[in-house]
Chains A and B, each alone.
Chain A
Amino acid sequence: MTQADAPALSTTQPEDFFQLLKPRVMSLVIFTAATGLVVAGADINPLVAAIAILCIAVGAGAAGALNMALEGETDALMRRTRGRPVAAGRLKSNDALTFGVVLSIFSVTLLGMNTNWTAAGLLGLTIVYYAVFYTLMLKRRTPQNIVIGGAAGAFPPVIGWAAATGEAPWQAWLLFLIIFLWTPPHSWALALYSTGDYAKAGIPMMPVARGAKSTRLQILIYSLVFVPVAIAPGLTGLGGPVYLAVSGLGGLLFLALAFRLWRSRAGDQPDGIGKSGAEVVGREAALYDVRAEAKPARNLFAFSILYLMALFAALLVERFASFGAA
């Protein structure tokens, strides 16, 4: 056998495997899980807490790897995702699948051994929910995909809380509810200026399936429900005055941006273009010409990330301040 006849062996780099873990999503998971763990207020060994957070982060990464393994072909069709390792052909989907399964088993097992099996069970449930329920079953079937699937991203603070106490009381589920209700306005704001991509990939995101006008209205409705829930920890004793100020002022800004988006023409197709996905794909370039009008959507998308981080940061700061005072 000559060198030229040699079977094609992989040139996949370790960085490609790291990219499978969706590092940016992982950082948000670490932050929210750590908040749940700290706010629970249990007396937990810092090393146990650090290993628990690592397990939750790796578990979330494993879910991301499974998602990319199952979505390689779809990812290749969208500008936002076409550079991912499987979509770009740098990594075989079977390798990504194996990597995701192995990491899932390792992270859930280690979390169970390290803390308790309630937390481990919730982590396992989150991985299955995201990889199977959301990716395989929901994403392509209903425009409500992001609403129901958003639960997967909302679990980390509950897992963190359960890791610290072995329980998941209503306060932990309130944190869950904040992320759950935050997801639709956040994701649909992004979808409003990526409509062409989703249509091309055949994913029935709300703007593709119901149109931009309906999406803008639903963003406003969800925002009206989300903001009071975001303020609720400040009124129930979970958060203090700092949290109340951050959630209240940020909430008002969130609502103002959602209102501006509702009044805008973000995501509207240029004149002369019909509503079907095929037409959208055919006139993709023209669709992106409305980007200046999509600015309110981008503003809400960007601010939503900042607002969520600020809410959890306020909870953390107040809890650490109370530790310091004690």
Chain B
Amino acid sequence: MPTYLTPDQLQARNRRSLWIALGLVGFIVLIFLTTFLRMQSNLAERKAMAATAAEATR
């Protein structure tokens, strides 16, 4: 059975959908950035540890 929406309901739903989409995209971008930054700092940490170990064995 079809559901009829008033123009107000339709407009409100479209706007909510748009903001949900933007929110999800934003969240995904933040997760991506967080992962990237974490990997970057872990790599730097590993490099520093390797350098310290090399210094100690020399």
Decide if B30 touches A45 in the complex (CB within 8 Å): no
Contact pick for A9, options B13, B33, B38, CB 8 Å: B13
Known contacts A12-B16, A14-B16, A45-B41, A110 near B31 by CB under 8 Å = yes
Contact with A along B9-35 (1 / 0, CB 8 A): 100110110110000000100110111
Contact pick for A47, options B1, B9, B31, B37, CB 8 Å: B37
* Docked CA distance A13–B41 (Å): 41
Contact pick for A7, options B3, B18, B31, CB 8 Å: B3
Known contacts A51-B33, A113-B38, A1 near B4 by CB under 8 Å = yes
Does more than half of chain B's interface fall in helix, strand or loop, or is it mixed?
helix
Interface size on B, residues (CB 8 A): 23
Q: From residue B5, how far is it (CB to closest CB) to chain A in Å?
A: 6
Decide if B4 touches A11 in the complex (CB within 8 Å): no
**Which residues does chain B contribute within 8 Å of A51, judged by CB atoms?**
30, 33-34
Task: Give residues in A with beta carbon < 8 Å to B.
Answer: 1-3, 6-7, 9-14, 17, 45, 47-48, 51, 54, 106, 110, 113-114
User: What are 20 of the A-B contact pairs (CB < 8 Å)?
Assistant: A2-B4, A3-B4, A3-B6, A6-B3, A6-B4, A7-B3, A9-B9, A11-B8, A11-B12, A14-B18, A47-B37, A48-B34, A48-B37, A51-B34, A54-B30, A106-B27, A113-B34, A113-B35, A113-B38, A114-B34
